[in-house]
Chains A and B, each alone.
Chain A
Amino acid sequence: AQSVTQPDIHITVSEGASLELRCNYSYGATPYLFWYVQSPGQGLQLLLKYFSGDTLVQGIKGFEAEFKRSQSSFNLRKPSVHWSDAAEYFCAVGRMDSSYKLIFGSGTRLLVRP
Protein backbone atom coordinates (compact mmCIF):
# COMPACT_ATOMS: atom_id res chain seq x y z
CA ALA A 1 0.00 0.00 0.00
CA GLN A 2 1.17 3.48 -0.69
CA SER A 3 2.26 5.70 2.17
CA VAL A 4 3.78 9.09 2.80
CA THR A 5 6.33 9.89 5.47
CA GLN A 6 7.17 13.31 6.77
CA PRO A 7 9.90 12.55 9.27
CA ASP A 8 9.98 15.96 10.96
CA ILE A 9 7.03 16.75 13.21
CA HIS A 10 8.31 20.23 14.01
CA ILE A 11 10.91 22.45 12.40
CA THR A 12 12.04 25.85 13.65
CA VAL A 13 13.95 28.26 11.43
CA SER A 14 14.91 31.89 11.73
CA GLU A 15 13.26 34.42 9.48
CA GLY A 16 15.35 34.83 6.36
CA ALA A 17 16.92 31.40 6.64
CA SER A 18 16.46 28.68 4.07
CA LEU A 19 14.00 25.85 4.56
CA GLU A 20 13.74 22.24 3.47
CA LEU A 21 10.85 20.00 4.50
CA ARG A 22 11.25 16.31 3.81
CA CYS A 23 8.76 13.97 2.23
CA ASN A 24 9.25 10.34 1.27
CA TYR A 25 6.63 8.18 -0.37
CA SER A 26 6.09 4.52 -1.02
CA TYR A 27 4.47 3.62 -4.32
CA GLY A 28 5.50 1.30 -7.12
CA ALA A 29 4.91 3.62 -10.03
CA THR A 30 5.35 7.34 -10.58
CA PRO A 31 2.86 9.07 -8.34
CA TYR A 32 1.19 12.42 -8.45
CA LEU A 33 2.78 14.52 -5.70
CA PHE A 34 1.51 17.57 -3.87
CA TRP A 35 2.44 19.95 -1.10
CA TYR A 36 -0.31 21.71 0.83
CA VAL A 37 -0.09 24.30 3.61
CA GLN A 38 -2.59 24.73 6.43
CA SER A 39 -2.83 27.77 8.68
CA PRO A 40 -4.66 27.42 12.00
CA GLY A 41 -8.41 27.11 11.61
CA GLN A 42 -8.20 27.02 7.86
CA GLY A 43 -8.31 24.45 5.11
CA LEU A 44 -5.45 23.27 2.96
CA GLN A 45 -3.96 25.48 0.30
CA LEU A 46 -2.15 23.91 -2.64
CA LEU A 47 1.47 25.08 -2.85
CA LEU A 48 2.62 23.02 -5.82
CA LYS A 49 2.14 19.76 -7.66
CA TYR A 50 4.11 17.26 -9.70
CA PHE A 51 2.38 15.17 -12.33
CA SER A 52 5.15 14.53 -14.87
CA GLY A 53 7.95 16.25 -16.75
CA ASP A 54 10.45 18.56 -15.12
CA THR A 55 11.32 17.18 -11.72
CA LEU A 56 11.83 20.63 -10.20
CA VAL A 57 8.49 22.32 -9.76
CA GLN A 58 7.80 25.87 -8.76
CA GLY A 59 4.88 26.81 -6.58
CA ILE A 60 3.27 29.79 -4.97
CA LYS A 61 4.81 31.95 -2.24
CA GLY A 62 8.34 31.24 -3.45
CA PHE A 63 8.27 27.51 -2.72
CA GLU A 64 9.74 24.80 -4.92
CA ALA A 65 10.02 21.04 -4.69
CA GLU A 66 12.13 18.44 -6.40
CA PHE A 67 10.97 14.94 -7.31
CA LYS A 68 13.78 12.41 -6.93
CA ARG A 69 12.65 9.01 -8.14
CA SER A 70 15.77 7.23 -6.91
CA GLN A 71 15.16 8.45 -3.37
CA SER A 72 11.35 8.32 -3.48
CA SER A 73 11.39 11.88 -2.21
CA PHE A 74 9.62 15.14 -2.91
CA ASN A 75 11.21 17.69 -0.59
CA LEU A 76 9.87 21.21 -0.29
CA ARG A 77 12.28 24.14 -0.26
CA LYS A 78 12.26 27.87 0.15
CA PRO A 79 15.42 30.02 0.01
CA SER A 80 14.30 32.64 2.53
CA VAL A 81 11.52 32.05 5.03
CA HIS A 82 9.10 34.80 6.07
CA TRP A 83 7.28 34.92 9.40
CA SER A 84 4.00 34.42 7.53
CA ASP A 85 5.21 30.98 6.40
CA ALA A 86 4.61 29.60 9.91
CA ALA A 87 1.97 26.90 9.39
CA GLU A 88 1.61 23.16 8.98
CA TYR A 89 2.77 21.59 5.75
CA PHE A 90 1.42 18.38 4.28
CA CYS A 91 2.88 16.24 1.55
CA ALA A 92 0.38 14.11 -0.38
CA VAL A 93 0.49 11.34 -2.95
CA GLY A 94 -2.06 10.31 -5.52
CA ARG A 95 -1.91 7.12 -7.52
CA MET A 96 -2.23 7.37 -11.26
CA ASP A 97 -5.11 4.88 -11.25
CA SER A 98 -6.93 6.50 -8.33
CA SER A 99 -5.56 9.99 -8.17
CA TYR A 100 -8.65 11.26 -6.43
CA LYS A 101 -7.69 9.47 -3.22
CA LEU A 102 -4.89 11.55 -1.80
CA ILE A 103 -2.76 9.94 0.85
CA PHE A 104 -1.36 12.55 3.20
CA GLY A 105 1.69 12.57 5.39
CA SER A 106 1.30 13.41 9.05
CA GLY A 107 2.45 16.97 8.50
CA THR A 108 5.36 19.17 9.58
CA ARG A 109 4.70 22.19 11.73
CA LEU A 110 6.96 25.10 10.80
CA LEU A 111 7.82 27.69 13.43
CA VAL A 112 9.63 30.86 12.40
CA ARG A 113 11.87 32.73 14.83
CA PRO A 114 11.95 36.51 14.41
Chain B
Amino acid sequence: GAGVSQSPSNKVTEKGKDVELRCDPISGHTALYWYRQSLGQGLEFLIYFQGNSAPDKSGLPSDRFSAERTGGSVSTLTIQRTQQEDSAVYLCASSVDINQPQHFGDGTRLSIL
Protein backbone atom coordinates (compact mmCIF):
# COMPACT_ATOMS: atom_id res chain seq x y z
CA GLY B 1 0.00 0.00 0.00
CA ALA B 2 1.02 3.60 -0.50
CA GLY B 3 2.86 5.36 2.27
CA VAL B 4 2.89 9.02 3.20
CA SER B 5 3.62 11.07 0.11
CA GLN B 6 5.23 14.51 0.21
CA SER B 7 5.81 16.97 -2.58
CA PRO B 8 7.97 18.48 -3.80
CA SER B 9 10.89 16.36 -2.67
CA ASN B 10 13.18 19.36 -3.06
CA LYS B 11 12.43 23.07 -3.17
CA VAL B 12 14.87 25.90 -3.70
CA THR B 13 13.55 29.42 -3.41
CA GLU B 14 14.71 32.95 -2.79
CA LYS B 15 14.47 34.64 0.56
CA GLY B 16 11.19 36.46 0.96
CA LYS B 17 9.15 34.16 -1.29
CA ASP B 18 6.23 32.07 -0.05
CA VAL B 19 6.35 28.27 -0.30
CA GLU B 20 3.75 25.53 -0.01
CA LEU B 21 4.62 22.00 0.99
CA ARG B 22 2.15 19.20 0.46
CA CYS B 23 1.49 16.00 2.39
CA ASP B 24 -0.75 13.15 1.35
CA PRO B 25 -1.23 10.80 4.31
CA ILE B 26 -1.85 7.08 4.29
CA SER B 27 -5.45 6.40 3.34
CA GLY B 28 -7.66 6.06 6.40
CA HIS B 29 -5.26 7.79 8.77
CA THR B 30 -7.11 10.43 10.74
CA ALA B 31 -4.11 12.04 12.39
CA LEU B 32 -1.45 13.99 10.50
CA TYR B 33 1.71 15.62 11.82
CA TRP B 34 4.35 18.02 10.56
CA TYR B 35 7.94 18.04 11.84
CA ARG B 36 11.02 20.00 10.87
CA GLN B 37 14.48 18.48 10.76
CA SER B 38 17.41 20.88 10.73
CA LEU B 39 21.09 20.60 11.52
CA GLY B 40 21.01 22.87 14.50
CA GLN B 41 17.70 21.87 16.05
CA GLY B 42 17.24 18.20 15.20
CA LEU B 43 13.68 16.96 14.78
CA GLU B 44 11.01 19.39 16.01
CA PHE B 45 7.27 18.96 16.21
CA LEU B 46 5.39 21.70 14.37
CA ILE B 47 1.67 20.91 14.29
CA TYR B 48 -0.77 18.06 14.22
CA PHE B 49 -4.25 17.54 12.80
CA GLN B 50 -7.03 15.32 14.02
CA GLY B 51 -9.36 15.26 11.07
CA ASN B 52 -9.40 18.81 9.71
CA SER B 53 -8.78 20.56 12.99
CA ALA B 54 -5.41 21.42 14.48
CA PRO B 55 -5.68 21.17 18.27
CA ASP B 56 -2.00 21.89 18.82
CA LYS B 57 -0.11 24.50 16.80
CA SER B 58 2.38 25.17 19.54
CA GLY B 59 5.37 24.02 17.54
CA LEU B 60 4.98 26.49 14.69
CA PRO B 61 8.07 28.72 14.99
CA SER B 62 6.45 31.98 13.91
CA ASP B 63 3.29 33.46 12.42
CA ARG B 64 4.85 33.07 8.99
CA PHE B 65 4.08 29.38 9.29
CA SER B 66 0.58 28.02 8.78
CA ALA B 67 -0.98 24.72 7.85
CA GLU B 68 -4.33 23.45 6.79
CA ARG B 69 -5.92 20.13 6.10
CA THR B 70 -8.96 19.69 3.94
CA GLY B 71 -11.29 16.74 3.60
CA GLY B 72 -9.47 14.96 6.39
CA SER B 73 -6.76 14.03 3.94
CA VAL B 74 -4.18 16.22 2.20
CA SER B 75 -2.38 18.85 4.23
CA THR B 76 -0.45 21.91 3.12
CA LEU B 77 2.24 23.64 5.16
CA THR B 78 2.76 27.23 4.04
CA ILE B 79 5.73 29.40 4.90
CA GLN B 80 5.38 33.07 4.05
CA ARG B 81 8.24 35.48 3.48
CA THR B 82 10.81 32.72 3.81
CA GLN B 83 14.03 33.33 5.70
CA GLN B 84 17.32 31.47 5.46
CA GLU B 85 16.75 29.88 8.86
CA ASP B 86 13.70 28.14 7.37
CA SER B 87 16.04 25.91 5.37
CA ALA B 88 15.42 22.37 6.62
CA VAL B 89 13.77 19.09 5.78
CA TYR B 90 10.05 19.19 6.49
CA LEU B 91 8.65 15.80 7.39
CA CYS B 92 5.04 14.76 7.43
CA ALA B 93 3.68 11.75 9.29
CA SER B 94 0.29 10.15 9.72
CA SER B 95 -1.25 7.62 12.04
CA VAL B 96 -4.50 5.71 12.27
CA ASP B 97 -5.33 7.84 15.29
CA ILE B 98 -3.38 9.70 17.92
CA ASN B 99 -1.74 7.27 20.34
CA GLN B 100 -0.87 5.07 17.38
CA PRO B 101 2.60 4.93 15.78
CA GLN B 102 3.39 7.65 13.29
CA HIS B 103 4.47 6.76 9.76
CA PHE B 104 6.69 9.27 8.02
CA GLY B 105 7.08 10.44 4.45
CA ASP B 106 10.45 11.07 2.82
CA GLY B 107 10.25 14.79 3.47
CA THR B 108 10.67 17.99 1.50
CA ARG B 109 14.14 19.49 1.54
CA LEU B 110 13.70 23.26 1.53
CA SER B 111 16.62 25.51 0.69
CA ILE B 112 16.33 29.27 1.00
CA LEU B 113 18.91 31.24 -0.98
**Residues in A lying within 8 Å of B, measured CB to CB:** 32, 34, 36, 41-46, 49, 90, 92, 98-107
Check B101 for interface membership: any CB of A closer than 8 A.
yes
Using A43-B4, A43-B106, A43-B107 as known contacts, say yes or no to A99 and B98 having CB atoms under 8 A apart. Answer: yes
Give the CA-CA distance A106 to B42 in the complex, in Å: 6
Q: 4 new A-B pairs (CB below 8 Å) besides A34-B101, A99-B99? A: A43-B91, A45-B104, A100-B48, A103-B45
Instruction: Return the chain A residue nearest B44 by Cβ.
Output: A104
Could you list some 26 contacts between A and B, CB below 8 A? Answer: A34-B101, A41-B106, A42-B107, A43-B6, A43-B93, A43-B107, A44-B91, A44-B93, A44-B104, A46-B101, A46-B102, A46-B103, A49-B101, A90-B43, A99-B98, A100-B31, A100-B48, A100-B95, A100-B98, A101-B45, A101-B56, A101-B59, A102-B43, A104-B42, A104-B43, A105-B42
Find out whether the CB atom of A43 lies under 8 angstroms from the CB atom of B56: no
Contacts of B95 in A (CB 8 A): 100
Residues of A within 8 A of B6 (CB): 43
- Residues from chain B with Cβ under 8 Å of A49 in the complex: 101
Contacts of A45 in B (CB 8 A): 104
